[in-house]
Amino acid sequence: MQRSRWTTLLFVGPAVLWLAVFFGAPVVATLWVSLTDEQGVDEDSKFIGLANYTRLLKDPYFIDTFWVMLKILFIGGAAVFAISFLFMTILREMRFKRFARAVMFAPYIVIPVALAILWGVLLNPQTGLLNSFLDLVGAGALKRVWLGPDWIFTSVVIGLIWLSTGFYTTLLCAGVDRIPAHYYEAAELEGASRWHQFVRVTIPMTWDVIGTAAVLWVIGAINTFGFIFAFSGAGATPDKRTWTPAIYLYLETFDPLNGSLSYGYGCAIAVMLMLLVAVSVALIRRAFRREAVQF
């Protein structure tokens, strides 16, 4: 087909230009600002090398947020994947499968702040639905101060599990639906138990989907912001026990009440986040790499 260089430019140019200005340039600028003591537009900033990064590694707040993130990543992740696998198995042979899946999935497309409000209403120690329900069924002994210091982090993690599981279940279901039925029929004929079918057929055949799901979970967990911010702060500053690096970055950089408006420091946190995403994605890719399976 005849096509001039100008045609290509016409098709690709706008996207490339947009990305250069609103993606490429900001990434480079973030790297640069993270090496300065930038305090704002009106202040002069100077190059301070890696000082922001060394400060970061010694900052007890940042180290706490890092632990919070790791706990969400691994404990929350283990729960989300365990439940998603279970749901996927159950949904495969359940009536009203589509309906159940659609309801489970719904939180994923709902405004995180609205979910946070809903979760707060459910767990409020005085007026919350959960405690009132426990009273109603005579299990008042199980009532807890769900939003208090002892429980707030657990409440956040369970909330994240609740709103993510539907998405991962659906993702796994989509992978399983692509497996030809005759694999299971053959396994059935061989007398393989369900557990055997799961380990020998389902897992290997959905391996790539599981890998993708793991990558998405890691990216999502590292960046998670809206739900935690709104839930543990109830519209104000979030509880310190639930600060993730992303929340700490926001407060340090943009919240004059809680931070120092230190843009350079914030950018250093951002760069750490990006490195973290890159390294974990590379590790997961490597762990899940294998020969392509054709089916």
The piece of 59-67, 147-155, 265-273, 286-294 that touches other proteins (CB under 8 A) is: 265-273
Among 50, 110, 142, 186, binds other proteins (CB under 8 A): 110
Among 65, 66, 71, smallest CA distance to 160 is for 71
3-state secondary structure of 103: helix
Q: Which of residues 175-234 bind other proteins (CB under 8 A)?
A: 175, 189-194, 196, 209, 212, 215-216, 219, 222-223, 225-226, 229-230, 233-234
Q: Does 152 bind other proteins (CB under 8 A)?
A: no
Residues 227/246, Cβ–Cβ less than 8 Å: no
User: CB-wise, 151 or 225, nearer to other proteins?
Assistant: 225
Number of shown-chain residues binding other proteins (CB under 8 A): 103
Residues 123/150, Cβ–Cβ less than 8 Å: no
Rounded Cα–Cα distance for residues 1 and 17 (Å): 26
Among 44, 60, 67, 127, binds other proteins (CB under 8 A): 127
Among 146, 162, 184, 243, binds other proteins (CB under 8 A): 162
Using alpha carbons only, what angle is made at residue 165 by residues 235 and 110, rounded to the nearest 5 degrees? 40
Among 80, 160, 176, 246, binds other proteins (CB under 8 A): 246
Q: Which helix (H) or strand (E) holds 107?
A: none
Orientation angle between helical segments 245-254 and 226-233, nearest 10 degrees: 70
Instruction: State how far Cα 196 lies from the chain centre.
Output: 31
Q: Does 293 bind other proteins (CB under 8 A)?
A: no
Among 57, 63, 78, 90, binds other proteins (CB under 8 A): 90
Q: Does 260 bind other proteins (CB under 8 A)?
A: no
Q: Does 258 bind other proteins (CB under 8 A)?
A: no
The piece of 58-66, 68-76, 141-149, 261-269 that touches other proteins (CB under 8 A) is: 261-269
Counting beta carbons within 10 angstroms of the beta carbon of residue 228, is it exposed (0 to 12), middle (13 to 18) or buried (19 or more)?
buried
3-state secondary structure of 130: helix
The piece of 52-60, 138-146, 148-156, 243-251 that touches other proteins (CB under 8 A) is: 243-251
Q: Does 136 bind other proteins (CB under 8 A)?
A: yes
Among 101, 152, 232, 239, binds other proteins (CB under 8 A): 101
Q: How far apart are the first and last CA of the chain?
A: 34
With b for 16 or more beta-carbon neighbours within 10 A and e for fewer, the 151-163 pattern comes to bbbebbbbbbbbb
User: CB-wise, 1 or 293, nearer to other proteins?
Assistant: 1
Among 153, 201, 277, 288, binds other proteins (CB under 8 A): 277
Q: Does 286 bind other proteins (CB under 8 A)?
A: no
